[in-house]
Structure 1
Amino acid sequence: MPIPFLHWLRSRFDLANDMADPAEIVADVEAGIAFKGTNLWVLLFAILVASVGLNVNSTAVIIGAMLISPLMGPIVGVGFGAATANLDLVRRGLKNLSIAAGLSVLVSALYFSFTPLTEAGSELLARTTPTTWDVAIALFGGAAGAIGFTRREVSNVVPGVSIATALMPPLCTAGYGLATAHWSFLAGAMYLFCINVAFISLAMFLVARLLPLPHHAFVNRQQARRAKLLFWGVAVLTAVPSVYLAARIVRRTTFEHNAQRFVDAELNLPGAYVVTRRIEADKGTINVLLTGRMLTLTQLRTVRARLQDYHLRRAQLTVRQGLAQLDSADARALRTSLLEDLRSRNEQTLAGYEARLAQLQQLLTQQATYAARLPAPNVLLREVQAEHPTVRQLALSQLTHSATDSLRADTTVVVSIRATRPLPAAEVQRLTEWLTVRAGTRLPVRLLLDGAL
């Protein structure tokens, strides 16, 4: 019983069934490595598109730059060359990747030196602080891209990987940091780019090792052994820094998460309010400004003793009490928090207004349609076009004339139309009479001609 199940499982996860011809895979890898001709022009345009997208904070434009960017080519070449023991492929992949990365940073820096928009938007800031998820996305996305790259049928896997594992935006963010002397932006963006490159190459290496691909042939066994050691050394050197970066990111993210939980649970005491919190994972410090009821030394010792319950045994907790302890960093953090809250509330309020307005407009249309026994505007437009083909747009509404004392309010159905040319008076009269009959003669109908298209 277990044997058939294992055969079935192997057939389901077999990657060799629809694998492309090895010669075609190698040709595709070779074509994607070199940056000349088409690849070079596409790279330059992708740099400019990504720079503009980051500059105007447009997600759609940045996604477009990710799709057309050819940076995946040399990264795939490095991983594929290491897996198939092709030293020349690895060397050319690293060389062209370095050239492309340097060109991307310089061109984007040149763009940001001349653009009048110098404010860093959210899309740009998102590329300056890598997180644990960036490591996972690069590894899993790179594996998916490696599988899609080696298939016979062209799929949308590789473009999807280009979007998921952002390569061009971090380089353009580094160019922004270089142009504006924001060195932390430059370091953070290059840090993110190195993470993506290392883990995509590692994923390509692992997938290619699982596939039945021919390896490079050597003259003698000693040369083969030396090359094998060299390739495995390159693979280890590629993996070890990535693992170190991943572990560092995990520690920082875990520290920040635990510190947030600690502050929310232990320092939001009755009568006390957390004004600002500054959590620095690299230094292992938690700096909190409290206002309201003052905490005693005993209470502070009790709070510090609870650090170990949140896996923060070595963290240094600083609690400042009273607004007199407010410093410039607190003021900036408080201002940023207030602006963010205000922006979020404004967006929620605006969304609520828009939803309510849409409901009221729909209700008015439904009431006018019901009262006049007229169909929905799109249905009525088709009926009108049967006799008046020049009519292109139609709107339906209800006009109520308020009355006083015991007089009853009068309601008029208003039908507004737009045509490609002015309608003759006779045609307007005929259309008005038809609408009145179509409305069931319960309510008067007024026809408005809203100009010509």
Structure 2
Amino acid sequence: MNFPLLRWLHAHFDLSADMAEPAEIMTDVEEGLAFRGTNLWVLIFAILVASVGLNVNSTAVIIGAMLISPLMGPIVGIGFGAATVEVDLIRRGVKNLLVATGISLLVSAAYFKLTPLTDAGSELLARTTPTTWDVAIALFGGAAGAIGFTRRERGNVVPGVAIATALMPPLCTAGYGLATAHWAYFGGALYLFSINCVFISLATFLVARLLPLPHHTFAHGPKGRRVQWAIWAVALLTAGPSVYLAAGIVRNTVFAHNAERFVEEQLNRPGTYVVTHRVAAGPRTINVLLAGQLLTPAQLATARASLGKYRLARTQLTVRQGLSHIDSADAQTLRSSLFEDLRSHNEQAMAGYDARLAQLQQVLGQRDSVAAGPRLPSAAALLREVQVEHPAVRQLGLSRLATPAADSLRADTTLVVQVRTRGPLPAAEQTRLRQWLRLRTGGQQPVQVLVEAAQPGSKGVR
């Protein structure tokens, strides 16, 4: 009963069907190891691109640096060497990775030492606190990269892995910490880079072990086993601190969420308004400033008694009532909140204006396309026809004037015909010319005729 299922699973999940030749895979691994010539220059330029992206807080620029970075080569080489028990490959991969890391730190530190922009943006700060999720990203991304790297047709897997695992930005963040003496940034970013390196190598090791690749054999079996166990030991030692950091982030996030619920449900009552509230997960404190109707001592006691229901036991609650109790931190919070609300309102207004403008342009384009249909001749052709009945006409120009209607959702288009005559054109002849032009252009739109006497020596079509 299970045999058909096993055959189906094998047919759909078999990794060896489109695998490249082992010699070709080994050649690609060897080419990605060395940092000299092209690879070295590309590394330096990728470092500078990533540093600029972090400096100006541009996500698009940072992604570009990830795509051109050659750092994946030695990391994949280490994992591939561990899977095939090629100690020389592991040794060269570690050596070249250390060289690339040193160059990256020096170049990024030099950039951040010279740049006039010294503030740490959100993109840079995001690379200073690694967690268990970074371990998972590196492991799963490395596995996808290893599978893509060993295929005959690689597709877009490897560039996607380069973006997901983000090897270059942590190194440049570490360079920023080195240049500005922010050692916490330096350590956190370097640790994130180490996580990515170790777990991409581990994922490459696991995938390569599943593939039918030739393995190097040692004269003494225990030596090969020690090589393979070493990468597991390094992976576990690297992952340990990230688990602790991730647990802290989860704990702080849960505390902040519960505190927000508590303030909204227990203190934001009818007639009473929460002006500001500050939540600190580390010391477990909630500081609230209220305005409007004052809460009675009994109501405050009830709110404090309900802290346990929100999993906020042993939390210090400070409630200040009345704007006379405002402090500098409250003022800063209010300013930030006002600026954020103003920015959000402006963005929404601009989005509405852009949408209305696009709608109007679309309507105008549709009406122009109708007006410019086959019934409307060119100015030159129209001039020749007009001169048959009105020889005094010497020049003729066509243009369209869009006049918005009252509802602002559609527009009327007036065809403007400007003619120049040899001399003044009688009113009756102007009326006949206007009627003829309206009929000649299809009668689907208003026609306005502007008549003026031509200057001596001028002729032609406009």
Q: What TM-score range do you get, normalising by the shorter chain?
A: 0.7 to 0.9
Q: Which residue of 2 aligns with 1:147?
A: 147
CA displacement at 1:45 relative to structure 2: 0.3
Matched-pair contact (CA < 8 Å) for 1:365–1:396: no
CA displacement at 1:11 relative to structure 2: 1.4
Q: Does 1:214 align with 2:218?
A: no
CA displacement at 1:139 relative to structure 2: 2.9
Q: Which residue of 1 aligns with 2:385?
A: none
Matched-pair contact (CA < 8 Å) for 2:105–2:172: yes
Q: TM-score, normalised by structure 1?
A: 0.76
Once residues 298 and 375 of structure 2 are traced to their aligned partners in structure 1, the CA distance between those partners, rounded to angstroms, is 77
* 1:54-453 to 2 correspondences below 5 Å: 54-130=54-130, 133-281=133-281, 283=282, 285-292=284-291, 293-296=293-296, 298-313=298-313, 316-322=315-321, 323=323, 325-366=325-366, 373-375=371-373, 397-399=401-403, 412-413=414-415, 437-440=440-443, 442-444=445-447
Matched-pair contact (CA < 8 Å) for 1:50–1:62: yes
Classify the secondary structure of the residue corresponding to 1:352.
helix
Alpha-carbon displacement from aligned partner over 1:27-76 (angstroms, at most 9, x marks no partner)? 32232232222111110000111122223333322221110011222222
Distance 1:235 1:366, change over 3 A: closer
- Opposite residue 6 of structure 1, the aligned amino acid is L
Classify the secondary structure of the residue corresponding to 1:35.
coil
* 1:12-23 to 2 correspondences below 5 Å: 12-23=12-23
Distance 1:233 1:208, change over 3 A: same
Q: Does 1:8 align with 2:11?
A: no
Classify the secondary structure of the residue corresponding to 2:30.
helix
Matched-pair contact (CA < 8 Å) for 2:146–2:207: yes
Alpha-carbon displacement from aligned partner over 1:150-197 (angstroms, at most 9, x marks no partner)? 212121101011112212122223323333444454344334333433
- Opposite residue 348 of structure 2, the aligned amino acid is Q
Once residues 8 and 405 of structure 2 are traced to their aligned partners in structure 1, the CA distance between those partners, rounded to angstroms, is 75
CA displacement at 1:285 relative to structure 2: 2.0
Distance 1:155 1:365, change over 3 A: closer
Once residues 242 and 79 of structure 1 are traced to their aligned partners in structure 2, the CA distance between those partners, rounded to angstroms, is 21
- Opposite residue 414 of structure 2, the aligned amino acid is T
Matched-pair contact (CA < 8 Å) for 2:105–2:175: yes
Once residues 380 and 151 of structure 1 are traced to their aligned partners in structure 2, the CA distance between those partners, rounded to angstroms, is 60
Distance 1:288 1:384, change over 3 A: farther
Aligned residues: 411
- The 10-residue stretch of structure 1 (144-153 or 181-190) with the greater mean CA deviation from structure 2: 181-190
Matched-pair contact (CA < 8 Å) for 1:272–1:290: no
Once residues 264 and 327 of structure 1 are traced to their aligned partners in structure 2, the CA distance between those partners, rounded to angstroms, is 21
Classify the secondary structure of the residue corresponding to 1:234.
helix
Distance 1:220 1:179, change over 3 A: closer
Once residues 330 and 11 of structure 1 are traced to their aligned partners in structure 2, the CA distance between those partners, rounded to angstroms, is 63
Once residues 415 and 183 of structure 1 are traced to their aligned partners in structure 2, the CA distance between those partners, rounded to angstroms, is 74
Matched-pair contact (CA < 8 Å) for 1:374–1:380: yes
CA displacement at 1:356 relative to structure 2: 1.6
Distance 1:369 1:330, change over 3 A: same
Q: TM-score, normalised by structure 2?
A: 0.74
CA displacement at 1:327 relative to structure 2: 4.4
Q: Which residue of 2 aligns with 1:36?
A: 36
Q: Which residue of 1 aligns with 2:421?
A: none
- Aligned-residue CA RMSD (Å): 3.9
Alpha-carbon displacement from aligned partner over 1:112-167 (angstroms, at most 9, x marks no partner)? 22223334444334434556654443332222112111212121101011112212
Distance 1:208 1:367, change over 3 A: same
State the structure with more CA Rg.
Answer: 2
Q: Percent identity?
A: 64
Once residues 121 and 415 of structure 1 are traced to their aligned partners in structure 2, the CA distance between those partners, rounded to angstroms, is 58
CA displacement at 1:442 relative to structure 2: 4.5
